Structure 1
């Protein structure tokens, strides 16, 4: 058995979690949470951690050099560097609208990279 100590990031409370796992990595219990979201977060973080990635992509033909973007859903934590490599090599042409898909299926994750700001063509 092993214990993993975490701070929950599901809400502003930041509960200190203790996640107990068996020898095969299965979650046996989550303690320290004050709500159900904390238990869900603890289980997920120990077995299959994910993150939302936010960044910027180069913009051509707009009044700004970049447009802000984020993944439309969480991606596996281990794919963050692959996602960032795709973002660094990408460029999008103005106009761009909130929710536009900038890179579909980024880094083979099955998740789209979407714009989070409006950028008009100049």
Structure 2
């Protein structure tokens, strides 16, 4: 039987929850102080997911990087694969908040979206690492 200790992130209490079970069958959940913590621990034990947040390179913009995130959580096992896809991507301004930048990121069925607007900047920027100086 697998045993896993999980720190709950649902509320500020940060309960240390202990889950015991095998594969998709959970035998016991202890250490939680609320029903939300138990539900979180069960989901984390069976199918852990994370919302991926990072930055991507963006050309012709006032800033060289754009904050992005996944629309929904992706399986924890796919995070590195998602980052490999994102790492090679370069986008062009303008970009709007919540605009889909990559559909079906790494075959997860989840889209990568922009967290903020990035306006087009017309200037002789020297490189991607330098902000545009209008």
- Measured against the shorter chain, the TM-score band is over 0.9
Asked if 1:102 is matched to 2:98, the reply is no
Q: For residues 66-105 of structure 1, what are the structure 2 equivalents within 5 Å?
A: 66-105=65-104
Any idea what SS the aligned residue of 1:12 has? coil
Q: In structure 1, what is the equivalent of residue 118 of structure 2?
A: 119
- Supply the RMSD in Å over aligned alpha carbons: 1.3
Taking structure 2 as the reference length, the TM-score comes to 0.85
Taking structure 1 as the reference length, the TM-score comes to 0.92
| Runs of 4+ off more than 3 Å | none
Q: For residues 31-42 of structure 1, what are the structure 2 equivalents within 5 Å?
A: 31-42=30-41
Q: For residues 50-61 of structure 1, what are the structure 2 equivalents within 5 Å?
A: 50-61=49-60
Between Structure 1 and Structure 2, whose CA radius of gyration is higher? 2
Asked if 1:18 is matched to 2:2, the reply is no
- Could you tell me how far apart the structure 1 residues matched to 2:99 and 2:49 are? 22
Q: Cα distance, 1:118 vs. partner? A: 1.2
Any idea what SS the aligned residue of 2:109 has? coil
- Could you tell me how far apart the structure 1 residues matched to 2:94 and 2:35 are? 42
Q: Cα distance, 1:32 vs. partner? A: 1.2
**Which sections of structure 2, spanning at least 5 residues, go unmatched?**
122-134
Q: Cα distance, 1:84 vs. partner? A: 0.2
Q: Cα distance, 1:25 vs. partner? A: 5.0
Deviations 1:53-93 (A, max 9, x none): 10001101111111000011110011001100011011111
**Which sections of structure 1, spanning at least 5 residues, go unmatched?**
none
